[in-house]
């Protein structure tokens, strides 16, 4: 189904067309018409399926006829809450692009940086606010703005939100919102605690699904290499050269390993930067922008980057460390093979991680292709 068939207005379709969007993804086809009818939606979709446009486009349309462009100071009419700074920034960038031909103002707030610039932008007027929970509650407590006029509330990556311990912040936030509002709740997985939370937020919702959360994109080729722990770094260099990798997102288990691997790669002649929770927001944004602009070849990340980094046409994702939680693998490799694009996932497994590989293959019901011919094979 094309975007032009979803009931979107000309201003939004014009920006969508300029971004080369044509065929809507499954979650977009299912969600957009419901949201336009003011229904609460419980969305179950893995990363990389186009969730942002699924809620952003109809919210823009619903708001476009209500905004008084002459108002200088506004409280937000739509609130989108997300767990990480990277995802908040990415959603805001998309929202600005989608609203190019409207008079709607978007602002984003997140922690880790001084609040002055964010506060100044809000005071210049905000219709749609994208926020991480901590900074949101902090600025509300300072009475910088109020949530009393929110008509549309989006909780994105809800499962990640709970994993990161934001449940109490979410409950505090809900109490500050008007009771009459439209709610959109998106999560890659739907465990019991997520469903329980959704019942406290949503009003007679319609549940929509796009691919089971255990699935991986059909356009994604999945490879596995077995090796010894002492050979992992050398094997990674071999893989980069052998596959002629122009750019790749490389995942490690810890912040320290990310930094150590990044140093090793730079010493080995590959341009690399690390992104994780101990980096300042400015450092993280610089690394991400340099990667997007292809100034660096490799972005080494912990799982904070598994959701919220949207890099168009990313061909390679490398699991330098295999995650012990199988669902994390699905989220990681979802950075590639997005929206029908082809991609390659490469997992480098040492002996202690081989069970994790088996668990992943059981969850996804798909065997990774074993690469046997390489000089760093695992010892028997």
Binned at pLDDT 50, 70 and 90, residue 331 comes out as: confident
- What is the distance between the alpha carbons of residues 189 and 250, in angstroms, rounded to a whole number? 23
Instruction: Give the CATH class of 220-370.
Output: alpha beta
b/e 145-168 (16+ beta carbons within 10 angstroms → b): bebeebbbbbbbbbbbbbeeebee
Binned at pLDDT 50, 70 and 90, residue 233 comes out as: very high
- What is the distance between the alpha carbons of residues 245 and 260, in angstroms, rounded to a whole number? 21
The whole-angstrom distance between residue 53's C-alpha and the CA centroid of its chain comes to 12
Q: Cβ neighbours of residue 327 under 8 Å, at least 6 residues apart?
A: 188, 189, 213, 214, 363
Residue 44, token pair as written in the block: 């179950």
Residue 48, pLDDT score: 62
In the predicted structure, residue 268 carries a pLDDT above the cut 90? yes
The secondary element (H helix, E strand) that includes residue 223 is strand 220-226
Report, as an integer, the average pLDDT of 105-109.
Answer: 95
Chain segment 296-305, per-residue pLDDT in tens: 999 999 876 5
User: Averaging pLDDT over each range in 73-77, 201-205, 359-363, which range is the top one?
Assistant: 201-205
DSSP string, 55-103: HHHHHHHHHHTT--TT-SS---SEEEE-SSHHHHHHHHHHHHHHTTTS-
CB 130 within 8 A of CB 80: yes
User: Mapping DSSP to helix (H, G, I), strand (E, B) and coil, where does residue 335 land?
Assistant: coil
b/e 280-315 (16+ beta carbons within 10 angstroms → b): eeeebbebbeebbeeebbbbbbbbbbbbbbbbeebb
pTM: 0.67
Domain extents for the chain? 3-210, 220-370
Residue 308, pLDDT score: 57
Question: Which is more confident, 50 or 240?
Answer: 240
Residue 30, pLDDT score: 95
In the predicted structure, residue 343 carries a pLDDT above the cut 80? yes
On average, the pLDDT of the chain sits at 88
Residue 92, token pair as written in the block: 């805001």
Report, as an integer, the average pLDDT of 164-177.
Answer: 93
Report, as an integer, the average pLDDT of 215-229.
Answer: 84
Q: Distance between the two ends of the chain, CA-based, in angstroms?
A: 52
User: Mapping DSSP to helix (H, G, I), strand (E, B) and coil, where does residue 218 land?
Assistant: coil
Residue 11, token pair as written in the block: 């201003």
Binned at pLDDT 50, 70 and 90, residue 19 comes out as: confident
Domain 3-210 identical in fold to domain 220-370: yes
Is domain 3-210 given the CATH code 3.30.70.100 in the classification? no
Cα–Cα nearest to 9, from 39, 37, 41, 36: 36
Residue 135, pLDDT score: 95
b/e 352-369 (16+ beta carbons within 10 angstroms → b): ebeebbebbbebbeeebe
Residue 164, pLDDT score: 83
Question: Which is more confident, 83 or 189?
Answer: 83
Cα–Cα nearest to 186, from 81, 299, 85: 81
CB 316 within 8 A of CB 243: yes
Q: What count of residues does the chain have?
A: 380
């Amino acid at each position: 189904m094309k975007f032009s068939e979803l009931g979107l207005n000309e201003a939004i379709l014009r920006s969508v067309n300029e971004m080369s969007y044509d065929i809507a993804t499954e979650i977009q086809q299912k969600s957009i018409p419901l949201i336009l009818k003011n229904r609460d939606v419980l969305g179950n979709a893995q990363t990389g399926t186009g969730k942002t446009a699924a809620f952003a486009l109809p919210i823009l349309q619903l708001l476009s006829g209500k905004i008084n462009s002459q108002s200088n100071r506004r409280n937000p009419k739509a609130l989108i809450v997300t767990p990480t700074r990277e995802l908040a920034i990415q959603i805001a960038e998309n929202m600005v692009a989608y609203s190019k031909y409207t008079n709607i103002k978007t602002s984003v707030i997140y922690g880790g940086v001084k609040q002055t610039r964010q506060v100044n932008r809000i005071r210049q007027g905000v219709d749609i606010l994208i926020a991480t929970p901590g900074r949101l509650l902090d600025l509300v407590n300072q009475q910088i703005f109020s949530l009393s006029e929110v008509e549309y509330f989006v909780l994105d990556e809800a499962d990640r939100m709970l994993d990161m311990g934001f449940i109490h912040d979410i409950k505090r936030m809900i109490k500050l919102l008007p009771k009459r509002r439209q709610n959109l709740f998106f999560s890659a997985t739907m465990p019991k605690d997520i469903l329980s939370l959704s019942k406290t937020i949503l009003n007679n919702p319609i549940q929509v699904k796009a691919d089971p959360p255990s699935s991986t994109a059909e356009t994604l080729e999945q490879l596995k290499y077995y090796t010894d722990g002492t050979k992992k770094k050398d094997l990674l260099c071999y893989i980069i050269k052998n596959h002629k990798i122009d750019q790749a997102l490389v995942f490690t288990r810890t912040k320290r390993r990310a930094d150590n691997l990044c140093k090793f790669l730079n010493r080995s002649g590959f341009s690399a930067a690390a992104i994780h929770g101990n980096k300042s927001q400015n450092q993280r944004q610089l690394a991400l922008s340099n990667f997007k602009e292809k100034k660096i070849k490799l972005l080494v990340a912990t799982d904070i980057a598994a959701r919220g980094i949207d890099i168009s046409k990313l061909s390679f994702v490398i699991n330098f460390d295999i995650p012990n939680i199988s669902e994390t693998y699905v989220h990681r490799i979802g950075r590639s093979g997005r929206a029908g694009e082809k991609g390659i996932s490469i997992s480098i497994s040492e002996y202690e991680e081989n069970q994790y590989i088996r668990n992943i293959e059981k969850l996804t019901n798909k065997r990774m292709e074993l690469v046997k011919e390489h000089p760093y094979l695992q010892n028997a």
